[in-house]
Amino acid sequence: AQSVTQLDSQVPVFEEAPVELRCNYSSSVSVYLFWYVQYPNQGLQLLLKYLSGSTLVKGINGFEAEFNKSQTSFHLRKPSVHISDTAEYFCAVSGAYGGATNKLIFGTGTLLAVQP
Amino acid sequence: DGGITQSPKYLFRKEGQNVTLSCEQNLNHDAMYWYRQDPGQGLRLIYYSQIVNDFQKGDIAEGYSVSREKKESFPLTVTSAQKNPTAFYLCASSIKRNNEQFFGPGTRLTVL
């Protein structure tokens, strides 16, 4: 089974500053990793995913994440945030063998609050 | 455009009434999911379905029921047995090969 931890429930940051949202996972098998974004009263939208290959993954809206197997982490970064990036961000993990029985496990989310 | 639709966006019901939330997808995905979202608790899995006419309980299935009569549709019924039904409900479907899930816009249910 897999689990995922997002230690920061809220991250305040000033506009145009860099940001890192932390995600750590545990698994006894290889994993797929995902970051989703949720704006208020909306569904979740995929930001980026790691399936295999390069450990640095680039996503939409200028976000990127790095898969670190030794530290079991998949932290999300952006070099310069905008007010419009204010949202809840969820990290998710599944075992790397596909199939609907292999469920996505979500973290509890991190609220990114960008201040002017 | 392909996607997932949920209706209605907002739903109000009296305590003790059953209510059914709609979820439709035209992505041709085999698997579909229902999540409940409460503040500070992330997403909790209620039910999921891998294929038509088959579904499994998730982590918090008590007080909920589902059906999967068509590939495109996965309605969720919140029954009167659900002790605290007020929440934001999200439906999703997925690609089997890598588990990426696509989400609908959600339904906010308020029980008065």
Rounded to a whole number of angstroms, the distance from the CA of A47 to the nearest CA of chain B is: 11
A-chain residue closest to B94, CA distance: A100
B105 with A46: Cβ contact below 8 A: no
User: Are the C-beta atoms of B79 and B72 separated by less than 8 Å?
Assistant: no
Chain mean pLDDT for chain B:
92
Q: DSSP letter for A60, please.
A: G
Asked if pLDDT for residue B61 goes beyond 90, the answer is yes
Measured between CB atoms, does A101 come within 8 Å of chain B?
A: yes
pLDDT averages per 10-residue partition of chain A, 116 residues: 92 98 94 94 94 94 96 98 97 79 86 96
Give the span between the Cα atoms of A81 and A87, in whole angstroms.
12
Q: What is the pLDDT of residue A100?
A: 53
Rounded to a whole number of angstroms, the distance from the CA of B80 to the nearest CA of chain A is: 25
Q: Which region holds residue B44: left if phi is over 0, alpha if psi is between -120 and 50, else beta?
A: beta
Q: What is the pLDDT of residue A39?
A: 94
User: Are the C-beta atoms of A1 and A103 separated by less than 8 Å?
Assistant: no
Give the span between the Cα atoms of A93 and A104, in whole angstroms.
6
AA letter at B106: G
Which of B90, B96, B108 is closest, CB to CB, to A100?
A: B96
AA letter at B70: K
Mutate to test the interface with B, among A104, A105, A108 (most CBs of B within 10 A): A104
Range with the poorest average pLDDT among A75-84, B2-11, B64-73: B2-11
Pairing state between β B107-111 and B10-13: parallel
B-chain residue closest to A104, CA distance: B99
DSSP secondary structure of B40-93: TS-EEEEEEEEETTEEEE-TT-TTEEE--SBTTB--EEE-TT-S---EEEEEEE
Mean pLDDT (whole number) for B38-49: 89
Give the span between the Cα atoms of A96 and A89, in whole angstroms.
22
Mean pLDDT (whole number) for B71-88: 94
Strand ranges for A6-104 from DSSP E: 10-14, 19-21, 24-26, 31-38, 44-50, 56-58, 64-68, 73-78, 87-95
Q: What is the pLDDT of residue A99?
A: 60
Percent of chain B at pLDDT > 70 equals 97
Rounded to a whole number of angstroms, the distance from the CA of A112 to the nearest CA of chain B is: 14
Which of A43, A103, A109 is closest, CB to CB, to B104?
A: A43
Q: What is the pLDDT of residue A25?
A: 97
